[in-house]
Amino acid sequence: MVSPVFLLLSCFLGHVAVAGRTCPKPDDLPFALVVPLKQFYEPGEQITYSCRPGYQSRGGIRRFTCPLTGIWPINTLKCLPRVCPFAGILGNGTVRFTTFEYPNTISFACNTGFYLNGTGSAKCTEEGRWSPTLPVCAPVTCPPPPVPKFATLRGYKPSMGNNSLYRDTAVLECLPKHAMFGNDTITCTAHGNWTEVPECREVKCPFPSRPDNGFVNYPAEQALYYKDKATYGCHETFVLDGPEEVECGKLGKWSAQPSCKASCKLSIKKATVLYQGEKIKLQDRFKNGMLHGEKVSFFCKNKEKKCSYTEDAQCIDGTIEIPSCFKEHSSLAFWKTDASDVKPCE
């Protein structure tokens, strides 16, 4: 007699022995896919591991069969991100990146004077390629420089085809009779344009007027213009106060207005003075008078301290003020010591 319980049990055990145990849901592997993915697998069922798009394993696809033990074999599959070609260097620019792996994005910038020909960033795709393709830094160029009215270009040579490169310069010159307002040198900027161009304006100066006791010469023209020159001179015994030559400036004025200054007649008959650091006799050196601007130092006595000191006097347009401390000796008072022979005060 076979007990029904035993029958049932043996039937159950027999089933287990044939079917084995079911396998559980397989372990998650980073960046991998399992097909098919279920909660349980019957012994004999197959699964395949593969890497997600953008990732690669060294061994490629792995197949496993659920064994009767119900335990999946050890899986050593490793999925690693694809690596895009090295892109860490951008000529005349810089690249910002962490790694060149999927799915990272890198970005680009160009140095001053260069512009990005392409996009500012690129992504490493699932296929391991940069998208969009990597940009280049191209040099900034400026078109031929603008030439303002009444101006000409001097010493300009395009450096790239018909264009100029960043930092190239050109020099502008005004036509005769015209003065420049602004900088004569223009520079190709990093924006691809030129710095501000100067302006050339016609500039006229009035005819210079003749100075009293003198004369002025200037070109015999209808009008006098920027950079024209005039020369001044004075009649005898008069001295020019100012430069001999003046020039018409960019604001329509002469660089100076010289005048003629009178020389000084000397009321003193006899005096020893300092002139250009030397003791001289006033009556000898300046017997024709002193010219405008000339300067001498008179000697004076300090009676208490019995010493001498000097005071300056200058001829200004016909007038010279003799220092009040100066005492002119009569030529008969030969016993008196002249101030210039007294020892100087400390």
- The binding site for ligand NAG (CB under 6 A) comprises 91-92, 117, 136, 138-139, 161-162, 183, 185, 187, 189, 191, 193, 195-196
Ordered DSSP codes for 61-111: -EEEE--TTS-PPP-----EE-BPPP----TTEEEE-S-SBTT-EEEEEE-
For ligand NAG, which is the closer residue by CB, 139 or 242?
A: 139
Asked if 55 and 124 touch (Cβ cutoff 8 Å), the reply is no
Chain center to CA of 69: 78
Ordered DSSP codes for 150-187: TEEEES---SBTTBEETT-EEEEEEPTTEEEES-SEEE
Q: At its nearest, how many Å lie between ligand NAG and the CB of residue 238?
A: 39
- Given the DSSP bridges, would you call strands 278-281 and 272-275 parallel, antiparallel or unpaired? antiparallel
For ligand NAG, which is the closer residue by CB, 39 or 162?
A: 162
For ligand NAG, which is the closer residue by CB, 80 or 116?
A: 116
For ligand NAG, which is the closer residue by CB, 73 or 91?
A: 91
Q: At its nearest, how many Å lie between ligand NAG and the CB of residue 132?
A: 10
Q: At its nearest, how many Å lie between ligand NAG and the CB of residue 92?
A: 4
Q: At its nearest, how many Å lie between ligand NAG and the CB of residue 155?
A: 14
Strand partners, 50: 33
- Closest residue to ligand NAG using C-beta atoms: 91
Q: At its nearest, how many Å lie between ligand NAG and the CB of residue 140?
A: 10
Q: Measured between alpha carbons, how far is 107 from 126 in angstroms, rounded to an integer?
A: 18
Q: How far is CA 78 from CA 62, 66, 83, 291, in A?
A: 11, 20, 15, 106
Q: At its nearest, how many Å lie between ligand NAG and the CB of residue 143?
A: 10
For ligand NAG, which is the closer residue by CB, 10 or 117?
A: 117
Q: Measured between alpha carbons, how far is 33 from 63 in angstroms, rounded to an integer?
A: 12
For ligand NAG, which is the closer residue by CB, 128 or 139?
A: 139
For ligand NAG, which is the closer residue by CB, 171 or 274?
A: 171
| Spatial CA neighbour of 101 closest among 76, 117, 119, 123 | 123
> Which residue type sits at 81?
P
Q: At its nearest, how many Å lie between ligand NAG and the CB of residue 246?
A: 23
Q: At its nearest, how many Å lie between ligand NAG and the CB of residue 139?
A: 5
Q: Is 282 helix (H, G, I), strand (E, B) or coil?
A: helix
For ligand NAG, which is the closer residue by CB, 130 or 309?
A: 130
Q: How many helices (H) and strands (E) does the chain have?
A: 2, 32
